[in-house]
């Protein structure tokens, strides 16, 4: 946990985390910032405490209609929220990642992030769930740029293993138990909001990307910097055929998201349940 100190950002984090703990009345073990799978997971919480956007501490901004829900999932205290702000809406890196730092300061042991992504691999089909094993940051957003706040973490944090193997292994094991083949994948973050061009997709594939999305990586960078364990899961929304000029079909992507959401929720439930054993 981040300890009380004199830096303005750390003070804001401590103040926001304490306000949330007071409002929720319980210290969560797991924090979930979910795109794909949000509804099904939230619906299964017991002893719910709902915090609307206007009830959240200053700076703790998520989506436009966002909220946080505290409760018990599979016997484990958790807090569930929408994904952080999107950088393509004009938000700064610190604003995008502030919720991650607050959740870590609340004492959460694990951050589970989910996102939708386009697949560059024939092995990752629409509606499937991938476990992120590494990333490429082409988002033009890095939360550690600017003046160094030593209270929050090291100036040059190691990023050789931002996605700890034990959590990835657990996700794949749970996936097998519930009938999901959750392959590992490299996630490339791009700025958005326009979709990449075919040339950009080809470049990303040659660079080693299996998945492409517009979120996830800045939050992971902030989490790793602050010592927060991370598990990132991606719901595949489409398969991109880089040789084709066929346009993106948003309706098909929405259909894939609906298919991936209950699968993601089942996977998350199993992962959280394993922590209660």
Q: What is the pLDDT along the chain (277 residues), one digit of tens a residue?
A: 434 456 888 899 999 999 999 999 989 999 999 887 677 888 899 999 998 888 888 777 666 667 889 999 999 999 998 777 777 888 888 888 999 999 999 999 999 999 999 999 989 999 999 999 999 999 988 999 988 888 889 999 999 999 999 999 999 999 999 999 999 999 999 998 999 999 999 999 999 999 999 989 999 999 999 999 999 999 999 999 888 777 888 889 889 999 999 999 999 999 999 998 7
Q: Is residue 64 part of a domain?
A: yes
Instruction: Count up the domains in the chain and report the number.
Output: 1
Q: Is residue 166 part of a domain?
A: yes
Q: Is residue 54 part of a domain?
A: yes
Residue 45's pLDDT is: 93
Range of the domain at 129: 8-275
Q: Is residue 133 part of a domain?
A: yes
Q: In 3D, which of 97, 70, 109 has the Cα closest to residue 13? A: 97
Residue 55's pLDDT is: 83
Residue 2's pLDDT is: 38
Record the tokens describing residue 75, joined without a space: 């016997």
Q: Is residue 2 part of a domain?
A: no
Q: Is residue 1 part of a domain?
A: no
Q: In 3D, which of 60, 82, 83 has the Cα closest to residue 13? A: 60
What gap in Å lies between CA 174 and CA 47, rounded to an integer? 25
Q: Is residue 40 part of a domain?
A: yes
Determine whether 155 is exposed, middle or buried from the number of CB atoms within 10 Å of its CB (0-12, 13-18, 19+): exposed
Q: What is the CATH number of the domain that holds 198?
A: 3.40.50.1580
15, 35, 164, 221 from 66: Cα distances, Å:
20, 11, 28, 22
Sign of CA dihedral 98, 219, 77, 81: positive
Does the predicted TM-score (pTM) go above 0.95?
Answer: no
């Amino acid at each position: 946990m981040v300890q009380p100190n004199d830096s303005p950002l750390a003070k804001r984090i401590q103040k926001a985390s304490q306000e949330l703990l007071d409002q929720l009345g319980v210290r969560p073990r797991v924090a979930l910032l979910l795109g794909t799978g949000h509804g099904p997971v939230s619906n299964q919480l017991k002893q719910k405490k709902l915090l609307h956007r206007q009830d959240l501490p200053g700076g703790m901004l998520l989506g436009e209609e966002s909220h946080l829900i505290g409760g018990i999932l599979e016997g484990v205290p958790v807090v569930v929220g929408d994904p952080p702000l999107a950088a393509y809406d004009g938000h700064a890196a610190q604003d995008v990642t502030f919720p991650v730092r607050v959740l870590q300061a609340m004492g959460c042991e694990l951050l589970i992030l989910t996102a939708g992504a386009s697949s560059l691999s024939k092995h990752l089909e629409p509606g499937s769930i991938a476990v992120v094993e590494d990333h490429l940051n082409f988002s033009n957003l890095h939360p550690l740029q600017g003046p160094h706040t030593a209270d929050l973490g090291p100036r040059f944090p190691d990023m050789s293993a931002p996605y700890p193997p034990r959590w990835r292994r657990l996700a794949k094991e749970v996936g097998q138990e519930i009938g999901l083949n959750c392959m590992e994948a490299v996630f490339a973050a791009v700025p958005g909001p326009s979709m990449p061009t075919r040339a950009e997709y080809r470049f990303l594939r040659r660079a080693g990307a299996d998945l492409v999305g517009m979120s996830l990586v800045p939050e992971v960078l902030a989490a790793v910097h602050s010592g927060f364990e991370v598990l990132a899961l991606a719901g595949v929304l489409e398969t991109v055929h880089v040789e084709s000029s066929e346009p993106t079909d948003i309706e098909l992507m929405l259909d894939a998201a609906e298919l991936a959401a209950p699968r993601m929720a089942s996977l998350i439930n199993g992962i959280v349940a394993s922590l209660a054993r």
